[in-house]
A = this chain, B = another copy of it.
Amino acid sequence: MSEPHLLPLLGAPPQERRDAARNRERLLDAAKELVEQVGAHAVTMDAVASAAGVGKGTLFRRFESREGLMAAVLDHSETEWQARVMSGPPPLGPGADAWDRLLAFGRTRLETTLLHAELIREAGRSGARASGAYSFAATHVRYLLSQLGVSGDVPLLAVAILAPLELPILEQVSLDGFPVDRFYDGWVDLVGRIVTPPGAAART
């Protein structure tokens, strides 16, 4: 006669225990705090654990690795941008035409990448960019490209459009000594060439 006391909630991950949830929060808060105070590069796992008043083992069980922790911190920050893209005001959000949205996307993407540069670097490839944030961006660009009626291998063109805005590329470039401002203009030119099929009229 006894059934599991709470709704089985089909297929959902077994539900996190209360202490686990509490500690996850403490750890994330402590991490964000420390990142802000001393910079991501100087944050040690021991420091985070003890600032959160939690054992080191727990920290690693929750976040897998240092990179994983940084990715979690980063993810939190980037979620806000994703929201702006999906449901914020135009031209970034819905409502403007696809071309203008694409340009706004590029500009803000560049800005957030630079803003979170250190965190992105520390998150390494385990991180947000690889899974969450990057595939969101890719999906969005693919969508805009299809709206623009771009022909060809749209997924790959999306990659090409995003690539120059990724941190590793930006880092290599600025070593070659580019002013960042010029970068956006160059990117717009690039996108124009990709979007406008050969033989069509030029774009403004």
Main SS at interface, chain A: helix
Contact residue among B129, B135, B190 (Cβ-Cβ distance under 8 Å from A156): B190
CB nearest to A157 among chain B residues:
B190
Q: How large is the interface on A (under 10, 10 to 19, 20 to 34, 35 or more residues)?
A: 35 or more
Kindly state whether residue A86 has any CB partner on chain B within 8 Å: no
Assuming the A-B contacts A168-B125, A172-B134, A186-B157, are A196 and B198 also in contact, with contact meaning beta carbons closer than 8 angstroms in the complex? yes
Q: How far is the CB of A39 from chain B (nearest CB, A)?
A: 17
The CB with the most chain B CB atoms within 10 A, among A173, A187, A194, is that of A173
Complex A-B, nearest 9 residue pairs according to Cβ-Cβ distance, in ascending order: A156-B186, A163-B163, A168-B168, A196-B198, A163-B169, A153-B186, A160-B190, A163-B164, A198-B202
